[in-house]
Amino acid sequence: MIRGKQPEANLRLTYRKTFWTCTGISILLQAALFGVFPSFEADAYVKSEDPVIIQLEEIPETKQERRPPPPARPVVPIATDDPDLPDDVTIEDTDLDLDLDDLAPPPPLEDLFEEVELEEEEIVELWRVEKQPIPTKRAIPEYPDIARKANITGKVFVTALIGKDGKVEQIGKITGPDVFHEVAKAAAQNWEFEPAIQNDKPVKVWVSLPFTFKLN
């Protein structure tokens, strides 16, 4: 059994009627607009621009004026007691010949820096030397009277720079009771050593010299 659409729901039956109705309405609307506006002219809008005026000015040429040379220095007469010399004798330029050609030029800065570096490198750390310095002469410090009366005891360490000749060249840091510093320093300066050896050559080293102060 073949089922079909009902006439109220079948839109194809009203296609032709709807089409011609819409076409007629659009023709009537166009005819009405043509009757109201038979002609239409659009005016172009032109923007007004202000005229550009270019004004040329004549610039005068710049001239550079040169300054006049400075006036010559006045002639200074020489005061002298010799009556034979004229009055208009003046001092003239003198070329000095200091004869500096025979002088040797100064050493370059690089050589000076190398010498300073070599001097600084001469001081070697004590633990790096092949042979440490050995004391050959010891000096015993005197017990200060003020420390003896005050019953002060203690231990002092004096840092000394031993030179290549085995003698004390410089005293450095001193630790311990202050009352013993001066006598310990004086004693340390009198010590002598067999110099330290590094690469079969004597070198400078810093050593620490101990001094013990105790009452009997």
Torsion of CA 15, 21, 25, 28, to 10 degrees: 130
Question: Quick check: 15 pLDDT over 90?
Answer: no
Q: Encoding tokens for residue 90?
A: 């003046």
Query: How many angstroms separate the CA atoms of 159 and 188, rounded?
Result: 9
Average of per-residue pLDDT values in the chain: 79
What is the mean pLDDT of the segment spanning 92-112?
A: 60
pLDDT for res 143: 94
pLDDT band at 33 (very low <50, low <70, confident <90, very high): confident
pLDDT for res 3: 61
- Listed in sequence order, the residues at least 6 apart from 159 whose beta carbon sits closer than 8 Å to its beta carbon are 171, 172, 173, 174, 206, 207, 208, 209
Question: Quick check: 9 pLDDT over 60?
Answer: yes
3-class SS at 103?
coil
Question: Quick check: 186 pLDDT over 90?
Answer: yes
pLDDT for res 196: 93
Q: Enumerate the β-bridge partners of residue 154.
A: 213
CB half-sphere exposure, 98, CA atoms < 13 A = 2
**Beta-carbon count within 10 A of 129 CB:** 18
Rounded to the nearest 5°, which phi and psi values hold at 51? -70, 140
pLDDT tens across 56-96, in order?
677 777 777 777 888 777 665 555 566 665 555 555 555 55
| Nearest residue to 140 (alpha-carbon basis) of 184, 93, 96 | 184
**Beta-carbon count within 10 A of 25 CB:** 10
What order of strands is seen across the sheet that includes strand 205-213?
Answer: 168-175, 154-162, 205-213
- 121-213 under CATH 3.40.50.12280, yes or no: no
In this structure, the strands spanning 192-194 and 205-213 are: unpaired
